[in-house]
């Protein structure tokens, strides 16, 4: 099935998404398809790999799991049945601590931590559409990585289920990952190329 032309008045579901060509990568946000091309840059991939490795190494022997894109995350907003879900994203990195959310298709429910590495083509989507989607889906931590600026902006869900003030970290800083007791990530290790 070919992807229909994007029109904001047409809402697609996970059932539609499953029938789109495997060679193409798409995301659905509120039923609207977003093309995931072009492929990420080398710098993007390097940063993603370093963050993934730091988290993966920390999680060895623990119950949480970390996944890198492409990995489907089906976000349930209004108790939709699986094939009726209208929000399917492929974050650069997802950490899931409730293993019951994992199945052979990816994650059904909200990860505890999502990391997105921005590019000019994804900036608006990552800062606006995904920010509000992840907040609504109650993702505990949302990190937005700016590769060229060597900066990470971190949002944590507060007790009113809203993201609090952004925390901004640069390459000389260390991030204390809020969802874990003892994980700290030195950003100089992440951004050194």
Kindly report, residue by residue over 14-49, the tens digit of the pLDDT.
999 999 987 788 999 999 999 887 788 899 999 999
Is the residue at 11 inside a domain?
A: no
Is the residue at 25 inside a domain?
A: no
Is the residue at 8 inside a domain?
A: no
Range of the domain at 115: 41-191
Is the residue at 30 inside a domain?
A: no
Q: How many domains does the chain have?
A: 1
Is the residue at 36 inside a domain?
A: no
Is the residue at 127 inside a domain?
A: yes
**CA distances (Å), origin 42, targets 92, 95, 145:** 14, 23, 15
pTM above 0.85, yes or no: yes
Kindly report which listed range (115-129, 143-157, 173-187) carries the lowest average pLDDT score: 115-129
Tokens at residue 163, please?
């993201």
Residue 161 has pLDDT above 70, yes or no: yes
| CATH code of the domain containing 65 | 3.90.1570.10
Residue 190 has pLDDT above 70, yes or no: yes
Residue 180 has pLDDT above 70, yes or no: yes
Read out DSSP for the chain?
-PPPPP-TT----HHHHHTS-TTS-EEEETTEEEE-PSPPPHHHHHHHHHHHHHHHHHHTTSS-EEEESS--EE--SS---GGG---EE--SEEEE--GGGEETTEEES--SEEEEE--TTTHHIIIIIHHHHHHHTT-SEEEEEETTTTEEEEEEB-TTSSB-SPEEEETT-EEE-TTSSS-EEEHHHHH--
Is the residue at 57 inside a domain?
A: yes
Q: What pLDDT sits at residue 4?
A: 53
Is the residue at 75 inside a domain?
A: yes
Q: What pLDDT sits at residue 38?
A: 78
């Amino acid at each position: 099935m070919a992807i229909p032309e994007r029109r904001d008045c047409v809402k697609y579901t996970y059932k539609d998404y499953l029938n789109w060509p495997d060679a193409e990568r798409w995301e659905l946000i509120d039923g609207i398809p977003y093309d995931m091309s072009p492929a990420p840059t080398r710098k993007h991939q390097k940063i993603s790999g370093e963050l993934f490795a730091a988290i993966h190494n920390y999680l060895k022997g623990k119950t949480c799991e970390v996944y890198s894109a492409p990995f489907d995350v089906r976000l349930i907003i209004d108790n939709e049945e699986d094939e009726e879900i209208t929000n399917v994203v492929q974050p650069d990195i997802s950490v899931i601590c409730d293993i019951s959310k994992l199945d052979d298709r990816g994650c059904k429910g909200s990860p505890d931590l999502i990391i997105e590495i921005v590019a000019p083509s994804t900036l608006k989507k990552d800062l606006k559409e995904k920010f509000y989607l992840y907040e609504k889906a109650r993702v505990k931590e949302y990190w937005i990585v700016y590769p060229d600026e060597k900066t990470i902006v971190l949002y944590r869900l507060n007790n009113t289920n809203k993201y609090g003030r952004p925390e901004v970290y640069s390459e000389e800083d260390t991030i204390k990952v809020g969802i874990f007791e003892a994980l700290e990530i030195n950003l100089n290790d992440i951004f050194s190329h």
